[in-house]
Amino acid sequence: MRIDILTLFPEMFESTLGCSILKRAQEKAIVDIILTNIRDFATDSYRKVDDKPYGGGPGMVMMPGPVFDCAEHVRKLSSEKGRVILLTPQGQKFTQEKAGQLSKEKRLIFITGKYEGFDERIRIGLGAEQISIGDYVLNGGELAVMVIIDTIVRLLPDALGDEDSPKDDSFSEGLLEYPQYTRPEVFRGMKVPEILLSGDHKKIAQWRHQQAIERTKKFRPDLLKE
Ligand SMILES: C[S@@+](CC[C@H](N)C(=O)[O-])C[C@H]1O[C@@H](n2cnc3c(N)ncnc32)[C@H](O)[C@@H]1O
């Protein structure tokens, strides 16, 4: 998979992309993640990428010119056309199901906003879909895209070792994951459930499934309705 990220703050991605699973996945060539600075496509000597909103009001709006030029340049960097995604609080809400769909794409192009957001002609002209990571407003799309790529990359084949398999993860089957325990067997008077020490894998699987249902009922009953 190739992921392009168009941003005004590429430096924000250094630690996220340089650690742990995202770092390993790039080293193993499971994913290529390429950052492009939208400001490099500004046309004036101040490298201006935003301007006041028509009609008045607070803040600044991202101008269409630099974002369009940047997106058109990036699109040509690969023969794979790619799916163009704008990060915006007005988009469709990101879910594990959406992550699964996106993880099957060969190329994703994310465009992150800043200030008061994008000139509307960016969304229309680029034919971009919109994704939000939740009903709240961030200062910029960078953290949102980090959340999304972190979720997608762990679903790519070979990105995780077997021991980290995402198949039982919360939301993957519409349920929360069962409770997990590790050593010690007793911690501050709290014991690991006997069944997990039994070595009976069939019974353990049944217990885990039952626990997943009970936890979902208790903590996220809305998931069961869906
Ligand atoms: C301050 S926000 C702009 C919000 C915009 N004025 C509005 O009310 O819809 C600046 C940028 O942060 C990003 N952003 C903010 N909240 C987000 C969210 N919940 N999901 C995805 N991106 C978000 C978007 O890229 C957005 O263009």
pLDDT tens per residue, range 56-66: 999 999 999 99
End-to-end CA distance of the chain: 31
Residue nearest to atom 20 of ligand 1 (CA): 132
Residue closest to 64 by CA, chosen among 54, 56, 76: 54
Per-residue pLDDT averaged across 163-174, rounded? 83
Question: What secondary structure letter does DSSP report for 166?
Answer: G
Active site residue 162: no
> For the segment 88-105, what is each residue's pLDDT rounded down to a tens digit?
999 999 999 999 999 999
- Kindly state if the Cβ of 206 falls inside 6 Å of ligand 1: no
Judge whether 99 and 148 are in contact, CB under 8 Å. Answer: yes
- Residue 97 token pair: 């199901």
Residue 142 neighbours by CB under 8 Å, 6+ apart: 7, 9, 12, 13, 112
What's at 122, amino acid-wise? I
Residue nearest to atom 12 of ligand 1 (CA): 140
> For the segment 6-20, what is each residue's pLDDT rounded down to a tens digit?
999 999 999 999 999
> For the segment 104-127, what is each residue's pLDDT rounded down to a tens digit?
999 999 999 999 999 999 999 999
For residue 101, what pLDDT is reported?
97
Q: Which of 6, 88, 90 to mutate to test the pocket of ligand 1 (most atoms within 8 A of CB)?
A: 88
- Residue 220 token pair: 């996220």
- Kindly state if the Cβ of 7 falls inside 6 Å of ligand 1: no
Judge whether 186 and 143 are in contact, CB under 8 Å. Answer: no
- Burial level of 111, CB count in 10 A (0-12/13-18/19+)? buried
- Name the percent of the chain lying above pLDDT 70: 99
Q: Which of 138, 146, 151 to mutate to test the pocket of ligand 1 (most atoms within 8 A of CB)?
A: 138
- Kindly state if the Cβ of 137 falls inside 6 Å of ligand 1: yes
Active site residue 105: no
- Kindly state if the Cβ of 132 falls inside 6 Å of ligand 1: yes
Q: How far apart are alpha carbons 194 and 221 in whole angstroms? A: 27
Q: How far apart are alpha carbons 80 and 222 in whole angstroms? A: 38
- Between these two residues, 102 and 168, which has the higher pLDDT value? 102
What's at 211, amino acid-wise? Q
Active site residue 154: yes
> For the segment 187-220, what is each residue's pLDDT rounded down to a tens digit?
999 999 999 999 999 999 999 999 999 999 999 9
- Residue 192 token pair: 């690991």
pLDDT for residue 163 is more than 60: no
What region does 19 belong to: left with phi over 0, alpha with psi -120 to 50, or beta?
A: beta
Confidence band for 80, pLDDT divided at 50, 70 and 90: very high
